[in-house]
Structure 1
Amino acid sequence: MTLCGLWTSSVAGLVALLLCYSWDTESMALSPNSGPLRQETEAAGGAQRRLKRSWVWNQFFVLEEYTGNDPLYVGKVHSDVDQGDGNVKYVLSGESASSIFIIDETTGDIHATKRLDREEQAYYTLRAQALDRETNRPVEPESEFVVKVQDINDNEPKFLDGPYTASVPEMSPLGTSVVQVVATDADDPTYGNSARVVYSILQGQPYFSVEPKTGVIRTALPNMDRETRDKYILVIQAKDMVGQMGGLSGTTLVTVTLTDVNDNPPRFPRKSYQHTVPESLVVESVVAKIKAVDADLGPNAEMDFRIVDGDGQGTFRISTDQGTQEGVITLEKPLNFEERSSYSLRIEATNRNIDPQFLTLGPFSDTTTVKVAVEDVDEPPVFALPLTEMAVSEAAAVGTVIGIVSARDPDAARSAIRYSIDRNTDLERYFNIDAVSGAVSTAKLLDREVNSIHNITIFAMESQDPSQVGRGAAMVTVTDVNDNAPVFAIDYETFLCENALPGQVIQTISAVDKDEPPSGHRFSFHLAAKAVDNLNFTLRDNRDNTASILTKRGGFRRRELSLYRLPIVIVDSGSPSLSSSNTLSIRVCRCDRDGAARICGAEAYALPAGLSTGALVAILACVLTLLVLVLLIVTMQRRRKEPLILDEDRDVQENIVCYDDEGGGEEDTEAFDMVALRNLNIVQDSKARRDVTPELPALFTSRLMYKTLPDNVIFQEFIWERLKEAEVDPSAPPYDSLQTYAFEGSGSLAESLSSLDSLSMDSDQNYDYLSDWGPQFRKLADLYGSSESRNLFS
C-alpha cells in the first residue's frame, strides 16, 4: 500500500511525488509499488529473502489557517492489494480522527475539515488500515503517520513585560544604557523569518535610540537636564520577517525618568533682607528665616547656612531647618537699643553633598546680606546686681542699715526709681527699705538661732510708669554672737551600783551650744561651788568637750539614799563666755554580777509610776502578738465542724473545753486587764471572773516613779509579781492565761511559755506555777541577758 500527498505548490508537488514512491533497498531505485521491506520465510530450501512491504510511510504537510469553504486535501493512502474493484476499505484512527481528519474509505483520500493553527498544535499522529470490505479483516498491517501543520506568518511580535519604566541619571553621557525591551513571536522560529524580530523607535527621538537586534535603549543626546525635562515617553516597535514588507509588528511604551544629580548650586532670590525686632526679644527667639533656592531634589538640595561676616557675629546665630531647608536666625545675646540699634550679617548657603564631577560648573554656594534693626521698648528698671549679699549681727539694734541696693532705668528717659520689699518674702517684716535711696535696715531684733539667712525680693519701680517694675534679690546673713549658754547634750540617766568602787567612772557627759563660734566649740566642766566638797562624787574635765563623773567612795546603799543630784557648771569659750549650771541625777541600783542595774530606788518590789519608751514598745508588741494568736485560734475553731451532741454531753464538754486552748480565748477578757498592762501604776482591784478565768487579788497599793528604771528590770519585776499571784491563789485552776504575760514576739529565743507540757496528769489540778513555769521564764530572763535576773526564777 502506498501513501501519497497532494500539494498545490511546486515544492509541495515534488514532495507529493516522492511520497508516492518508495526506496527499493535491493535495486536502490524508486518504484511505484515499492514500500518498506518485509521479511518472509519460504519453505523451499529453508532460505530466507527480503520481500517488499506494501505500506509507504512518511509525513503529510498541511498549511495552517486554511480559509476555503471545502475541506482541505491532506493526502492519500493506497494499498497495492487494492485492484480498484471496491473490495478494500480504508479506515483512519488516532488523534483528531473523524473530528478534524476524515478519509474516503474507497479512495483513501484524507481531508481536514477544520482550520488548523500551528500555534495551538504543530502536528497530529494518525493510524491508517486497509480492510477487506466483505470480511472486515485487515489486508495490510496498521501503520502510523504524522500530519504536520505548516507555519505561516500569522502572529505579530508581543512585548510580554511591557509597558516599561526606567530611569537614567541626568547629565549622563551619550550612549548610556537605559533599559532592554524584549518581544516574542509565536510563529515557528525554525521555519522561515516569521519569528525573526527587529526593533525600532517610533517616538522618543532624538533623545533616545534602540538597538535593532537586542532591543537595548540608549541615550541619544549627552547631558540631558532634569531641571529642563525630567520624563520621556518612548514608543518601541518590534517587527517580524526581519523588518521586511508584509511583516507583522507590535509596540510597547517605555517611560524614562531622569534622576537628579547635584548639578545646581543654591541661590538666594534676593541679595539683601531687612528685619526688625524689639529690644525686649528674649534669648533663643527666632529673629528671621531666609531660604535659598536649589533646583535639585532630596539630598542634592540639602544645604548649610553660616554667618561669614558682619557686626552681628556673637549676637546672632544661624542654623538649618532640616524639614524646610531654611536658614533660621536666632538671638544669642540680649539686645539693648540704647547700646546698638542695628546689625548687619553676611550669610552663606552651601550645598552639603557636592559631586566632584560637577565642580567645573562653578561654586555650589551663594551669599546674601541680612540687616536687623532693633526697636526701642519701654523696659523695667534693672538692678546693678541680680543678687545683693548683706550681713548683720544678731545683736544689731532696730533700724540698723545693713546694705544698699541700686537699680536704674535702661531707657533713654532715665526715670527715677522707687524701691519696696516684697512682703511675701519677708512675712515677719524683719527689714525695711528706703524708697528713694534703696538702703535696707532692720525692723526687728534678729535671732540667728531662729533664722540665720533671710532671702528677700526687692521691687524697683519707675516713678513715671509704675507698671514698669524690676525685681532684684537680697540675701541677708545674720552673724552669730555668743548669746546662748552651753547645756547637757542629752537628758542623762545615770545609774550607780551599790557595789561601785572608789574612783569608778559612772558617767561621761558632753555639752551643746546653739551658738556657732568661728573656731568651733570649746567647753570646760567643773562642779558647782556647793558640790565641790561633797564626799560622794568628783568631776574630771577630759579637755575634749567631755567630762567624766567618778565616785569618791564605795558602799552606796539605795535604802539609805536612792537618788543623788550633782550640780555641774559648763562654760563656753565665747567672748564674753557664758556658763550654765546643770544637774546630773544619779540613781543608786542593785546590780547583777555583770554590773547591769536590776533594782533601783527604795522599794524592791514596787512597780514604777511610769514606763520608758522601750518598755512600752515591748508590752505593745506582746499585746499585738496575743491578739494575732487569739484571732488564729478563733478562726480555726470556727472552721471545725461542730458535732451534734446531747445537752448532757455538752455539759461535760464545757468542763474540759479550755484544756485544748493555749490561751484564754476571745471571751477570756477578765483573765488579764490590758489597761493594767499599759498603765502599770494603777491599783488593780479584785474582779469576779467569768467563765473559767481565775480571780486576781489586788497587789498594787502604792505608786513609785521609776522613769529611769531599765526596761528589763521593769519587765522582770512585773512577771515575777504575776507568778507570785498564781502561786498563792489556791482557787485558780491551771489555765494557760498566764502565758499572756510572757513577751514572746516573732522568733522568740524563749520559745513557747505555755505550761501545757508541764501539767501533771496525775491530778485534776496543778498549782505549782513556779516549778512548771520556771524553765520557760528563765529562757525569758536569758533573752534580756541578765544573769542576776535569772536568779529570780531559780
Structure 2
Amino acid sequence: MGLLSAGSPSPSWLPPFALLLLLPLHVSAEPRQVFQVREEQPPGTWVGTIVTRPGFTYRLSEHHALFSINATSGALHTRATIDRESLASDVMDLVVLSRNEQRHFEVQSSKVPNLSLIKVAAALDRELSRSSVASLVIFVNDINDHPPVFGQSVYRVNISEEVPPGSYVKGLSATDCDSGLNANLKYSIVSGNELGWFCISEHSGLVTTTASQVVLNISARDQGVQPKFSYAQLVVAILDVNDQRPLFSQPDGYQVSLAENSPSGTELLVLSVTDGDLGDNGTVLGPLVAPRRVFRLDPVSGKLSTISQLDREEQDHYSLQVLATDLGSPPLSSVARVNVSLLDVNDNSPVFYPVQYFAHIQENEPAGSYVTIVSASDPDLGPNGTIKYSISAGDNSRFQIHGQTGVITTKIALDREEKTAYQLQIVATDGGNLQSQNQAIVTITVLDTQDNPPVFNQVVYSFVVFENVALGYHVGTVFASTMDLNTNITYLITTGDQRGMFAINKVMGQITTASIIDREEQAFYQLKVVASGGAITGDTMVNITVKDLNDNSPHFLHAVESVNVVENWKAGHTIFQAKAVDPDEGVNGMVIYSLKQNPKGLFTINEQNGAISLIGPLDINAGSYQVEILASDMGVPQRSSSFILTVSVHDVNDNPPVFDQLSYEVTISESEPVNSRFFKVQASDRDSGANGEVAYSIIEGNSGDAFGIFPDGQLYIKSELDRELQERYILLVVASDRAVEPLSATVNVTIILEDVNDNRPLFNSTNYVFYFEEEQNGGSSVGKISAVDKDFGQNGEVRYSFENMQPDFELNTISGEITSTHQFDRETLMRQRGAAVFSLTVIVTDQGLPKPLKDQATVQIYMKDINDNAPKFLKDLYQATISELAANLTQVLRVSASDVDEGSNGLIHYSVIKGNEENQFTIDSGTGQVTLIGKLDHEATASYSLIIQAVDSGTVSLSSTCTLSIDVLDENDNSPSFPKSTLLVDVLENMRIGELVSSVTATDSDSGDNADLHYSITGTNNHGTFSNHFSFSGSFIHRHSSHNPPSLPHFLLLLLVVSLSTSG
C-alpha cells in the first residue's frame, strides 16, 4: 500500500493526489493502485477502475472535490476540471492510516520522491475487521497549454567592433508555466543569422559572436509533444575586424568519385567556405591548383566542375588544392585538398598490337604444335578489361586459338605440298562484349627443310636519338638477306611501338621518327622488325635509346607560400626551405637555388638545398617582405622558374600579461540569475599587435561549469548557483596573449556565494513514531524530532511547534524534544479514546526573511504498555459435567481470561494448581482448554473441584484464579447382587393365601435410577404358588393353598428363582 508522504517537497513535474479507499470486510485489494489523468479534462472524465470483487461496495475515505468513485464498479471519475498549474503550489498534507492502534501497519520511506510505502507489520485479527483500506495515487499529467513568454518583445544591444569571438552580446530569457518537458525551454536563432555570425546557448539563451547591424529573431520552444513557441527580436549593431580565417566545410579534405566518361561541365562538388568576418574581410575562393584544361572552380559559387572529358586510362586520380583567401588586411587564407578518383567504365575496346603477325611451322608437325601467340590489351578494369580471343576468319579446321592466352596451335599435321601459307583473322572481345575494331592478321607459312627465311645481318640493332627531333628524322637502318635468288625482302615493325613513334621504309629498312619524341615520357624503345621474303619471314630486335635535351624548367612544389617570423631571430636562423624538381636527367635536371628578389639583403639561400636563412635583423615596422626565389637547372641553355615567398614579421612576445591585482575576491548572491555579469578581471601586456592582445579563460576550480568568462575578462554566471551545494569557488583564471608562441599569467578569483532563504527546512522523517511507556510522570521525554535547513545563518535556524494546541504534550521550540504534561494510563486511553495512540502534526519554521519557510510532519505516539493489570477470568466459577465412561482426551470445558495489557504483558498461560491430584485432567496453557486424560469412576469419585490459574508473561508476572467444578455423571455400569445366592425358607402347607413367606434384599453400587431395584420370580413357580407382593420389596406371599394336592408329599421342597433388575 503506497501513499505520498506528507511534508516532502512538491515535485516540479506534477502534484499527485493520494486518496484513501475504504473497502468492505476482508476484501483483498491491490496494495497500491496508480492512475493518471490529463489536466483540463471535462468533469466526468473516466480516470480508471480499481480492482473490485462482486458483492462489495467502495467509497473514498472522505468527500473529495475533484474525484468520485462508483460504489459497485469501482470506476473513478473527475468531479471538476483540473488545472495542474493551480495545483502546483499546493502542499498536500496526508495523515497516513488512522485506526492503526494495533500497529498492524508501518510506514517506510521510498526511493520515489514524495512516496512512502505502508506495509503490513502484524497479523490482522479478521474477527475484529470491519473494513480494509487501500491507497489510490492519481497523477495529474501536465498538458502543453502555455507557450513560453519572453520578458521583452524586442531587445537592443551595441557591441564593440573589436570584441573577439565568444564575447557576450545579450542574455534573453523566457518563462513557461507548464512543467517537465513542457517547460523545458530551448532557444534558437530562427532568422537573421544566415551567415552564421552569432550563436545562442540552447539552454540559457546567451547570445555570443561567432560580427554592421543585424536583427536576429530568437525563438523559445518548449519540449512538449506538440511544442509551443515564443519569439523575440535582438537588434545587434557591431563592426567587423578580420580576425577569422576562411574555413572549409571539410578542413581535412574532400574525396570525390567521378565516372571517367562524364561530359565536360560535370559538377564534382560545391565547396563550402565560411568566414565569420564581413565585407572585404569575407571569403574569396581561388586560385585552383590543378591540371590545366581539366577542372574549373567558380570563385563565387564554389562550384568545382570539369572542363574536358576525363579518361581514367590516362590518369585515374587527381589531387587538387583550393586556396580560400579573404580580402582583409592582412589577408587570411586556408587551403583544402580535393582528391578526385575516376571510376572505370567500359569505354575501350580491346586493341591488338601488333596488328599483323608472321609465323612459320615445319610441315608434318603433329597436331597441337605451337604456331604463335597474339596479344591484345584493354585498359579498362575488371571484367571490362578481361579479353577473350577467337578466330573470326581463316582455316579454323587446321588451327585453333586459346581463348584466354591467345596461343595459336595446329589441329592437324600440315602438308606444304597441299598449301604453303595460311592467313587467320583473330578477334578480341572484352567482358563488356566490346570487340576489337581492328582484327589481328596472322600469316602462317608452312616450311620444308629446304626453305631459307630472310636473315638480318645483326641479331640486335641499337640506335640513339635525341628527344624533340623533327618528324622523319633518320634513326637507323636494318638489313636482311636470303639465299633464295630473285626474292624481294620487305620490312615491317610489328611490336614495341604501340604509340606509332617510328616508321620503317618497307623496302630499304630505314627507321625514321613518325612523331615528336619526349624522353620524359619514354626514354627507351625495343622494336621487333620482321623481314618477309615471299611467304617466309625472319625478325630482329631494334633498341632505340632517347637522349635528353634540356627542355624542362624546374618547377616548385609550392604554389603560394608564406612564413611567420619574429623580429628577434638571429642571423643564420633558417626560416624556410624551398623545393623544386626538374624531370630532365643529368645536369639538365640538377636544380640550384638563388634569390631573384632579396629585400634589403636580409636573406640568403643555400643553392643546393633551398634553405633560406636570415643574414640581418628584421624590422617589425615593415610588416612583411616579398622574397622571390629562383630555381635553375645546369643544362645548356639553362632553364629556371621562380615563386614568391611572403615573410611576415611579428613582434617578439617577450612580455607576459600582468593582472592588476595579485588575487580577486567577490561576493555575489546565490540567487543571481543565469547570464548575469558580475565581475571583471583585467590584465595588460606591453607587447604590440597580437602579442599584446589578451584573452581570458578559466582553467581550474569551475566545478559544475558554474561560471564563464568572456574574452574581455568579464565573468558571468553560466548555470544556476546553489550555496548549499557549494558556498565558495576559487577560480584559476589565465590571461594569454595571442602570439604564435603565447605567454600567459594566472590569478585566483575567489567567489563567495551569499545565502538567500531558498531552502525550506526539512524534517528527517515525514512520519515520526514514538513509543511512550504508560504511568510515567509528567515532563518525561517522549522523543525528539529533527529538521535541517541547508541555508546559512538565520535562514537556516529552525523553530518547532505543534500545528494545534496539545494539552497532553509539550514541544521544545529549539531542541525539538517532545515531553508529556501528565501521567498516562494506556488502558484508560483505550476505554476513553478507543486507541492508545496520539496523532500530532508538528511544524518547523526557519527564521529567514522576508518570508520564513516551513515544513510539517506527523507524529504518532503510542502508549507503551507496562504490566499493571492481572489476567481476569470471565467467571470465577466454571461448572461442567462429564460421563464416567467418557473416553480419554474428551474436552471438558474451555476457561477464558483476558488481560488488558498488551504484548507479552497480555499474553496468558493457564495451569491447574489444585484439585487434580489424581492427574485426571490437563489444561492447554495457551487456550485454557481442559481435557480428560484419566479414567473416571463415578462410584469412586463423583465430582472434582479444580483451581485454575491464569498467568501473564510480563517480566514480573501477574496472575488470577478461578474454580472449575466437574461432576462425574453415573452410568449403569454395575449389576445388582443378593447377599446370598441361596435362601432356605420353611413354610407350612396350610399357610393362608397372601401370607408373607419370606423377604429377600439385594444391593447395586450405581446411583439414581441405576440403583433402583425390581424383583421378580422367574423360575420353578409353574403353579403360580408364590408371587412377590411388591416388585421392589423382595417379599414373597403364598397364593394358592385351598387344598393340598394329592400328589404332593407330606414334606415338599420347592425351588424359586428370583430375578433382580434395576431402572437404569
TM-score range, shorter chain: 0.3 to 0.5
Query: Structure 2-normalised TM-score?
Result: 0.28
Q: Between Structure 1 and Structure 2, which shows a larger proportion of strand residues?
A: 2
| TM-score, length basis structure 1 | 0.35
